């Protein structure tokens, strides 16, 4: 066991305060917070002023501080802090999923170059130890897929809508009042937060370092009463589900979108701020993990777990990446989706491969069919900005080059809608 860890903390918001409380009430851990760097000079805080500084170098350049814990919102500033700390030979714990996802390959190189450790369990799925589980339990397992509910904020909103009949705006306000969602909730409800988490999980599950811009993500902000009505008529709930799955032995696909969830699905009763992760593998088969995914204490407990691991010299080994098994990502698949729309020009652009169901009413139009994921990614801005809502049925398949005549026939059907 190493010496007592002296912590330099960046950020004292919901998670930072949660960490302080969790650490103060934990037994046996050999760590203490020495200094906390914050921005707002006027904000009242529950700790004495002597704990705080407004100068990052006072923390980063302090030779007595062994460990940097980064818990701020700004991903660019977080990367500067984390990279500087690693270069100075300090271990780092972070909860910033956007920063890790955008810079993961570079951060891995910095760890190896400077012989230090960067841990980020708190960046994915709150209190569920999914990264450590993938690194250790599934290190040599043949994985097929990882999916689930990775964002407690959006899940809280959807739970209030489907379980308590709240409208979207009121459910969002409740999530914001409880600290589950930010004043600008775009990262959560737009599906960006779970996309960053999915990229991190894909690195530990399949050894891939991916650019977030190559991954399709849409969220729940365009959810309407018609979509809710449709789901209820079919006895579904809607959940925001990120998904990484093998298409064949050498290829995986990744996407984030709302999904219809039936009563028999493991995610059906994962409600409020809880997360749920499903791991499918060849030998251990399907396993399900659940825990709180939002809030200061659940996330603080994940940070504390990383701090504790560092007292024992723990490092991620990136085992799947170092196995040098050739695995690539692809958007060349067909996904079955429900699309509620108002502008049929969007349908033409998406070029559905096939259509199994369509409906038209004065204020409500939808189609269900297979569409290529690369077409969805190509027109992602139109999907977000048009009056449209996209939901996966949970079915997808490797893309077979559908003859143009078949696609034209499918498109012609829309001329009547």
Helices (H), 256-341: 296-310, 319-322
H/E run at residue 397? strand 389-398
Strands (E), 342-388: 354-360, 365-372
Cβ atoms of residues 252 and 206 within 8 Å = yes
Rounded Cα distance between 305 and 303, Å, is 5
Spell out the residues 6+ positions from residue 116 whose beta carbon is closer than 8 angstroms to its own: 86, 89, 90, 91, 92, 110
* Sign (positive or negative) of CA dihedral 155, 156, 157, 160: positive
Find tokens 């006895």 and name the residue.
235
Cα dihedral 51→55→61→65 (10° resolution): 20
Cβ atoms of residues 237 and 162 within 8 Å = yes
Count the alpha carbons within 13 Å of 409 in the hemisphere toward its beta carbon: 9
Q: Specify the length of the chain in residues.
A: 417
CA of 87: how far to CAs of 23, 82, 84, 384, 395, in Å? 27, 9, 5, 40, 45
Strands (E), 21-98: 31-37, 52-53, 67-70, 91-94
Active site residues: 197
Could you tell me which of 75, 133, 83 has the C-alpha nearest to residue 107?
83
């Amino acid at each position: 066991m190493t010496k007592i860890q002296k912590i330099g903390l960046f950020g004292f918001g919901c998670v930072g305060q949660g960490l302080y409380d969790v650490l103060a009430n934990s037994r046996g851990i050999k760590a203490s917070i020495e200094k906390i760097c914050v921005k707002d000079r006027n904000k009242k805080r529950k700790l004495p002023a002597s704990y705080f500084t407004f100068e990052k170098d006072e923390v980063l350049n302090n030779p007595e501080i062994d460990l940097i814990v980064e818990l701020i919102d700004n991903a660019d500033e977080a990367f500067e802090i984390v990279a500087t700390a690693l270069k100075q030979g300090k271990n780092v714990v972070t909860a910033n999923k956007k920063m890790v996802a955008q810079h993961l390959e570079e951060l891995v190189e910095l760890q190896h170059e400077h012989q230090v450790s960067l841990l980020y369990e708190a960046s994915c799925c709150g209190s569920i130890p999914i990264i450590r589980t993938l690194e250790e339990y599934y290190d040599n397992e043949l994985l097929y897929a990882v999916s689930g509910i990775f964002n407690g904020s959006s899940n809280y909103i959807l739970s209030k809508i489907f379980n308590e009949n709240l409208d979207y705006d009121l459910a969002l306000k409740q999530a914001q009042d409880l600290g589950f969602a930010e004043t600008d909730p775009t990262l959560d409800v737009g599906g960006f937060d779970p996309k960053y988490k999915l990229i991190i999980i894909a690195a530990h599950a399949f050894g891939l370092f991916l650019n977030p811009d190559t991954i399709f993500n849409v969220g729940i902000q365009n959810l309407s009463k018609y979509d809710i009505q449709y789901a209820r008529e079919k006895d579904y709930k809607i959940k925001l589900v990120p998904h990484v799955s093998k298409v064949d032995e050498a290829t995986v696909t990744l996407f984030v979108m709302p999904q219809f969830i039936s009563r028999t699905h493991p995610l059906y009763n994962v409600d409020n701020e809880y997360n749920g992760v499903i791991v499918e593998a060849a030998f251990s088969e399907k396993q399900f993990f659940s825990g709180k995914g939002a809030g200061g204490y659940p996330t603080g407990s994940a940070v504390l777990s990383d701090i504790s691991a560092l007292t024992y010299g723990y490092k991620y080994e990136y085992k799947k990446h170092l196995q040098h098994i050739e695995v690539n990502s692809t958007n060349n698949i067909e996904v079955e989706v429900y699309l509620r729309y108002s502008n049929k020009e969007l349908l033409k652009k998406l070029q559905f491969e096939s259509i199994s169901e369509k409906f038209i009413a004065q204020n409500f139009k939808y189609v269900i069919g297979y569409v290529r994921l690369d077409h969805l990614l190509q027109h992602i801005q139109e999907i977000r900005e048009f009056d449209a809502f996209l939901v996966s049925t949970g079915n997808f398949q490797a893309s077979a080059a559908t003859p143009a005549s078949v696609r034209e026939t499918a498109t012609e059907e829309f001329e009547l809608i």
